[in-house]
């Protein structure tokens, strides 16, 4: 809906009323039955689309005589129509892990891209304490947005019964969907780290230990999720892309190394001061020469950069990669 079409009284109501943000994955009926809701301080319309005349005629129209509840319901419906969903979260199974004298449940989380259930999916595992830490961290930064977000309660006894575990699975699925529905939360480093950091730490540990095949397997899984989560900030995935280049290069697969290197360079086109830029250029020149590709244009970029900058100690791409995610 175009905000400019409201009369002054209606526009004032629009600006002052609190609204309910909802998250829809399939149809309105599914959402009303299954999806959680959270209250935020003001309306933020994302990805606006043209209103469907049939939908508009079926909805309420805002006016100064409406009650607060009616206004909330109206804007809830408006948000439902223009909401674009990118990722879906499913928790299909769990497993119990025994560690020393304690045991805990690991929740398997499948992250799917909308409309693609056979590909473009990532699988991670998290435990209750991981969710708990995420919730505490997000509350520090987003206390207002999360005012009505309910965190699945901790049960001191009977934690590992099938009933309790199933209840937790459903609760955490809705919890993740709700967090992702909030623009500022899903773009936050804390939320993205929850979904990617443990796997990246493992991958870089393998890379430092020379286990390039295992590191590559994890990195390729993570990069797909990072690309979906960080579309608005592609430069942030450059370190992962460069780690993949390092792995492919050390596994003597220059073609794939060059492919991922090109992708990383495309993200740094306007960020030539980035710490990975020159090490990546130097690696790409080596790979291009080895593959018989044009390396002169890359060499020109390198020389151009050197004429503009004071001589400094430049690390190699591999040196930079092994320093990532050090404890």
How far apart are the C-alpha atoms of 18 and 41, rounded to whole Å?
A: 5
Q: Which residues pair with 101 in a beta bridge?
A: none
Q: Is the pLDDT of residue 29 over 80?
A: no
Question: What does the mean pLDDT of the chain come to?
Answer: 79
Domains of the chain, earliest start first: 86-187 (3.30.1520.10), 193-323 (1.25.40.10)
Which one has a higher pLDDT value, 98 or 124?
124
Smallest Cα–Cα separation from 199: which of 186, 215, 177?
215
Strand 102-113 and strand 87-99: pairing? antiparallel
* pLDDT band for position 290 (cuts 50, 70, 90): very high
* pLDDT band for position 245 (cuts 50, 70, 90): very high
How far apart are the C-alpha atoms of 62 and 70, rounded to whole Å?
A: 8
pLDDT tens digits for 50-103? Answer: 333 333 333 445 555 777 777 666 655 544 443 454 788 999 999 988 877 778
Q: Is the pLDDT of residue 38 over 50?
A: no
DSSP 64-75: TTS-HHHHHHHH
Which one has a higher pLDDT value, 119 or 220?
220
pLDDT tens digits for 129-179? Answer: 999 999 999 999 999 889 889 998 876 655 678 888 888 899 999 999 999
Which secondary structure element, helix H or strand E, spans residue 264, and what is its range?
helix 254-267
**H helices present in 17-104, as ranges:** 28-34, 53-58, 68-82
């Amino acid at each position: 809906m175009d905000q400019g079409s409201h009369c002054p009284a209606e526009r004032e109501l629009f600006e002052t009323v609190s609204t309910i943000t909802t998250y829809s994955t399939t149809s309105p009926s599914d959402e009303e039955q299954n999806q959680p809701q959270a209250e935020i301080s003001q309306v933020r319309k994302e990805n606006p689309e043209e209103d469907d005349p049939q939908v508009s005629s079926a909805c309420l129209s805002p006016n100064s005589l409406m009650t607060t509840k009616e206004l909330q319901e109206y804007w809830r419906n408006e948000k439902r129509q223009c909401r674009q969903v990118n990722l879906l979260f499913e928790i299909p199974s769990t497993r119990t892990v025994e560690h020393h004298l304690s045991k805990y449940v690991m929740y398997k989380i499948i992250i799917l891209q909308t409309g693609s259930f056979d590909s473009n999916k990532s699988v991670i595992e998290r435990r209750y304490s991981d969710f708990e830490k995420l919730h505490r961290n997000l509350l520090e930064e987003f206390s207002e947005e999360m005012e009505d977000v309910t965190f699945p309660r901790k049960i001191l006894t009977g934690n590992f019964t099938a009933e309790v575990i199933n209840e937790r699975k459903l609760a955490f699925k809705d919890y993740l969907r709700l967090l992702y529905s909030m623009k500022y939360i899903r773009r936050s480093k804390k939320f993205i780290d929850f979904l990617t950091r443990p796997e990246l730490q493992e991958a870089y540990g393998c890379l430092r230990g020379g286990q390039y095949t295992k590191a590559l397997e994890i990195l390729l899984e993570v990069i797909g999720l990072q690309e979906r989560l960080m579309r608005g900030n592609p430069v942030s995935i450059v370190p992962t892309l460069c780690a993949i280049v390092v792995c492919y290069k050390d596994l003597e697969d220059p073609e794939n190394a060059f492919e991922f290197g090109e992708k990383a360079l495309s993200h740094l086109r306007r960020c030539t001061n980035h710490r990975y830029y020159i090490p990546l250029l130097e690696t790409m020149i080596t790979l291009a020469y080895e593959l018989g590709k044009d390396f002169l244009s890359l060499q020109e970029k390198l020389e151009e950069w050197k004429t503009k900058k004071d001589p400094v100690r430049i690390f190699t791409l591999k040196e930079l990669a092994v320093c990532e995610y050090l404890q």
